[in-house]
Amino acid sequence: MNFFKLVLAMSIVLGFAGSAAALDSTILSVQRTDGAEVEFNLDQLEALEPYTLITHTVWTDGPQQFTGVRLTTLFEAAGVKQGATIKAMALNDYAVELPWSDIRKYPVIVAYQLNGEYMPIRDRGPLWIIYPQDDYPKLRGSGVQAKMIWQLNSLQAVQ
């Protein structure tokens, strides 16, 4: 994995992320505050340190196990420096802003698996931002729900 991080870091330095084949299956693009864009395919996301959390959500029945990458891990890999907010956008044009404080204080993840299965678009996949609502009762409520954006396809760091 360290090797992968090195490759990723190098490809970012060189100004392109991954081969042409990898670009084809990009599922997430991260825009840094300097305007540079870093693209991730599923393999690249899975190569980052995984994080699993179990929580209820208002859209599902019963406790759910989400596996993904912590946003802090992702941003570190993409070379995103701290900004004021993150603008998250979805395939269905839904967009929402996530404050940096949320990401720092709580293990907020970009989930790519739900209960051990990859998520197709029709099940809110391929990526879904998940807040640990069970572990932190403070995070329950419609404000945080609005930030749990599904069908995520791009993140943009705003200074």
Partner 1 sequence: MDTSEPASSPQIARRSFSAVIWLTLAFVLFAFSLVGAYNELRRRDALSVEGLGEQAHALFYTYHEINRFMVSLSRYTHDDPFKEAGRKDVERHFELLVSRIKMFKAGDLKRNLAGDEDLEQVISELGKAIALVEILLPDLPPDPRDPRYLRIVNTLDPLRLVVFIQGREKVVEISARSEELLQTISNGSRYLLAPVLTAGLLLLLFTAELRRSRKLATALTEESMHLRTASEQLAHEVGHDHLTGLPNRALLEEFLSQSLARARRNGSELALFFLDLDRFKPVNDSLGHSVGDDMLRMVASRLSSSVRETDIVARVGGDEFVVLFEGLDEAGQLEAAHRLLANLHQPFPIANQTLFIGASIGISRYPSGGTEPHQLMRNADAAMYNAKRQGHDTVVFYDPQMNSYAEKWFEKEAQLRTAIKKGEFELHYQPQVALSDGSVVGVEALLRWRHPKRGLIMPDEFIPLAEASGLIVPIGDWVLRNACKQAARWQRENLLPIQMSVNLSARQFQVPDLAAKVVSILAETGLAPKHLLLELTESMLLTDVEFAIEVMGELSALGVRFAIDDFGVGYTSLNYLQRLPVSQIKIDRSFVLKAPLSPSAGAITRAIIALGNSLQFEVVAEGVETPEQRDFLRAQGCEMGQGFLYSRPLPATALSAAMLLGHFAAYNDGPITSKANALSEVHANEQAAPTV
Omega before residue 126 within 30° of 0, cis: yes
Q: Contact region for partner 1 (CB under 8 A) — 13-21, 24-32, 51-59, 72-80? A: 51-59
Site for partner 1 in 139-158 (CB under 8 A): 142, 150-151
Judged by DSSP in three states, 21 sits in helix
Site string for partner 1, 88-127 (x = CB under 8 A): ---xx---------------------------xxxxx---
With contact defined as beta carbons under 8 Å apart, do 111 and 124 qualify? no
Among 59, 99, 101, 115, contact with partner 1 (rule: CB under 8 A): 59
Burial 85-101 (b: 16+ CB within 10 A, else e): bbebbbeeeeebebebe
**Beta carbon of residue 92, minimum distance to partner 1 (angstroms, whole number):** 5
CA separation for the pair 126, 50 (Å, rounded) = 16
* Residue ranges in contact with partner 1 by CB under 8 A: 57-61, 91-92, 120-124, 142, 150-151
